[in-house]
Amino acid sequence: MSSKSMEILNKQRLLRPSSPHFTIYQPQLTWIASIFNRATGVALSALLYGFSLAYLAAPTTFDSAHIIEVVAGLPDAVKYAGKFVLALPFAFHSLNGVRHLAWDMGKFMTVKGCYISGYAVLGATAVSTLAMVFYV
Amino acid sequence: MQSLLPRTLPRFSRSSRALHTTARRFQAAPTAKPVLLKEFKIYRWNPDEPAAKPHLQSYKIDLNQTGPMILDALIKIKNEVDPTLTFRRSCREGICGSCAMNIDGQNTLACLCRIDRAGNDTKIYPLPHMYIVKDLVPDLTLFYKQYKSIQPYLQNDNPPEREHLQSQADRKKLDGLYECILCACCSTSCPSYWWNQDEYLGPATLMQAYRWIADSRDTYGEARKEKLQNEMSLYRCHTIFN
């Protein structure tokens, strides 16, 4: 291509829009589970690092006895909601992590396998979350 | 002589002009098909007016006067409603890969995707996260460059005198790999490819890279694998499986 036509083409290329992606792509178990895995991973890490740093900074306010005192004083509804908010990401991330390890070993590498393992993880997450909220 | 014929013989008619009356029983009158309107919302962007934002334009067509596939609908719209609608197409049978686009949220070939005859509208977008040349036409230059970069041809330093012999078992390893028509549907559905298009190769190119590594006639397997040994080309894959 001559340099004059390349110039015109590159000028046009600068103006081109990028087509929409996650806003229009059909929500599917595959990518919804994947982004949820990443989001729960970030949230759980933030909690872990946040708590560790807070404990380093102020060991007396964040030690076990003090935390138990504060939580015990909260109304029941808040306690159950809090347990739910902590249990769900933990359960999902751990179980989906196992699914990821299975993929790394070459298992469930078909569309069917991906969906069956995905639904199994969702079911197991629901069961474990309920178990953790009400029985632990 | 007619009166000598026995009365029991059936006679169609005495008149020689009877054909149109007696033939009525044998001709099928064409039944008019009811009008079945369907709305298509199609992504439009015109490079001649680059400042105008891309938008969805709505078209209604009669499905009973259209072929069964989305490509038939697009061609009907272009022929009868709006000739400025632009899209790629060629074989109309799912082998060339030109008409790849996002239909109702999933990347597929328009010539193979049946129109959903139920009431609601169908949204047609170009392949996700690609630079758009016009309407539904994406710029696939980078995609083809990435394909070229994996050296998709047989490389063998000691070619045999005549044919490269290959056992049936070895040939079977290529089944499922060689059929790729490079339509870009898979790569453009990968979120990792959306975010790292310039460096991550994407599923289509990676599968073809494997196709050449797996080919028993090719001796450059190690070199091909070495080329993928960096942070971005291969290892941006997070097994999302979209």
- Residue A22, helix vs strand vs coil: coil
Is residue B237 predicted with pLDDT exceeding 80? Answer: yes
What is the DSSP-derived secondary structure letter of residue A63?
A: S
Exposed, middle or buried: residue B116 (CB in 10 Å: 0-12, 13-18, 19+)?
Answer: middle
Query: Cβ separation of A18 and B129 shorter than 8 Å?
Result: yes
The Cβ of residue A108 has, within 10 Å, a number of other Cβ atoms equal to: 19
The span from the CA of B148 to the CA of B208, in Å, is 10
The span from the CA of B183 to the CA of B143, in Å, is 10
pLDDT by residue (tens digit) across A60-81? 888 888 888 888 888 888 888 8
pLDDT by residue (tens digit) across B112-126? 999 998 878 999 999
What is the DSSP-derived secondary structure letter of residue A26?
A: P
Whether residue B102 lies within 8 A of chain A, CB to CB, comes out as yes
Is residue A6 predicted with pLDDT exceeding 60? Answer: yes
Quickly state the pLDDT bin for B208 (edges 50, 70, 90): very high
| Lowest mean per-residue pLDDT among A56-70, B17-31, B63-77, B101-115 | B17-31
Minimal Cβ distance to B194: which of A21, A26, A28: A21
The length of chain B is: 242
Contact in structure between B87 and B41 (CB atoms under 8 Å)? no
Predicted pLDDT of residue B31 = 77
- Residue A18, helix vs strand vs coil: strand
Q: Which residue of B has its CA nearest to A9?
A: B133
User: How far does A88 lie from chain B, in Å, by closest CA?
Assistant: 21
Query: Number of CB pairs < 8 Å for A and B?
Result: 76
Question: Which residue matches tokens 């690092």?
Answer: A49
The span from the CA of B58 to the CA of A25, in Å, is 19
Q: ipTM strictly over 0.85?
A: no
**Residue B72 Cα to chain centre, angstroms:** 12
Is residue A26 predicted with pLDDT exceeding 90? Answer: yes
Predicted pLDDT of residue B4 = 59
Higher pLDDT, B84 or B25: B84
User: How far does B114 lie from chain A, in Å, by closest CA?
Assistant: 17
Q: What is the 3-state secondary structure (H, E, C) of chain B?
A: CHHHCCCCCCCCCCCCCCHHHHHHHCCCCCCCCCCCEEEEEEEECCCCCCCCCCEEEEEEEEHHHCCCEHHHHHHHHHHHHCCCCCCCCCCCCCCCCCCEEEECCEEEECCCCECCCCCCCEEEECCCCCEEEECCEECCHHHHHHHHHCCCCCCCCCCCCCCCCCCHHHHHCCCCCCCCCCCCCCHHHCHHHHHCCCCCCCHHHHHHHHHHHHCCCCCCHHHHHHHCCCCCCCCCCCCCCC
Distance, first Cα to last Cα, chain B: 85
Query: Cβ separation of B242 and A20 shorter than 8 Å?
Result: no
Instruction: State the amino acid at position B209 in one-letter form.
Output: A
Average pLDDT of chain B, as a whole number: 88
- DSSP H/E element including A67: helix A64-72
Quickly state the pLDDT bin for B8 (edges 50, 70, 90): low
Backbone angles phi, psi at A104, to 5 degrees: -65, -25
